[in-house]
Amino acid sequence: MRLSRFRSITPLTPAPSATPAVHSTDSGEAVASAAQRVGIQVAVLVLADVAAGHRWWGWSRIVLGPRRLRRVPGLHFAKVLGSGYEGGFGLRPSLSCQGLFLLFADEAAADAFLDASSVMATYRARCRELCSIKLRVGSSRGSWNGTRLAPSSAMPDEGPVAALTRASIRLPSAFEFWRKAPAAQAALAGAPGCRLAAGLGEAPLLRQATFSIWDSVGAMDAYARSGAHLEAIHAAHRGRYFSESMFVRFVPMSIQGVWQGVRHR
């Protein structure tokens, strides 16, 4: 199986230092109140490889960010993300691969977006590959733009799990971070039990994310606690590389579509 390089995401609740009443888009506009939540929040990650004839359209999605998503019913939080070359995690940007991370009020709102929204219809018409992953948060630590993810599901003893790591890298630490990244990236691509992995970013060099899906918690932990990845994590803590970071474990609810030539169901 050919891999792309990502990590996962889940329901968000404001960090103690953040304003507790709102979720917001990248532009800072409040889109929902915590008091208005209904049901259990569901995260959606969309991976898209834009067809050659629509590359300018694809770049415009990243430039405009989540502004075109503001009116999506039930959407609490949105990120439009670029990617590394061939969907990977590195300094060379992809001209075609990108992603969406979306947090919905409940599963019904997530399904309505995936099945019937004009946003997804446009992506389907203009992408040569498209994959959508629906997730619930099992555990979470850290924050994303001051927002924390709220666990809503127990991690399974058996079966697939997903993980998302994202970080805002301090500018003085960027060189050391990227010096250690290739070895951890190579280890992820060949890690036993890794079904899918991909790299995403909000901004080149300094705001990065990795998403992955694993056969089991054991397979994920074996990678996280060994080799180049463990060394990179220790270096990041010692050197205080990050101004903000988040690590989330998810329970995948569904995965549909094609990514890196592999059809997922």
* pTM (global) more than 0.85: no
Amino acid 24: pLDDT: 37
pLDDT over 50 at 263, yes or no: yes
Amino acid 119: pLDDT: 95
pLDDT over 90 at 163, yes or no: yes
* DSSP H or E stretch at residue 62: helix 55-64
Question: CA-to-CA distance for 43 and 102, rounded, in angstroms?
Answer: 6
pLDDT digits (tens, 9 = 90+) for 55-112: 999 999 988 888 889 899 999 989 999 987 766 666 778 889 999 999 999 999 999 9
Q: What architecture (CATH level 2) is domain 12-264?
A: 2-Layer Sandwich (3.30)
Cα-based distances in Å from 245 to 96, 126, 173, 207: 26, 33, 14, 10
pLDDT digits (tens, 9 = 90+) for 200-217: 988 877 888 889 999 999
Question: CA-to-CA distance for 13 and 179, rounded, in angstroms?
Answer: 33
Question: CA-to-CA distance for 68 and 66, rounded, in angstroms?
Answer: 5
Phi, psi values for residue 59, rounded to 5°: -65, -35
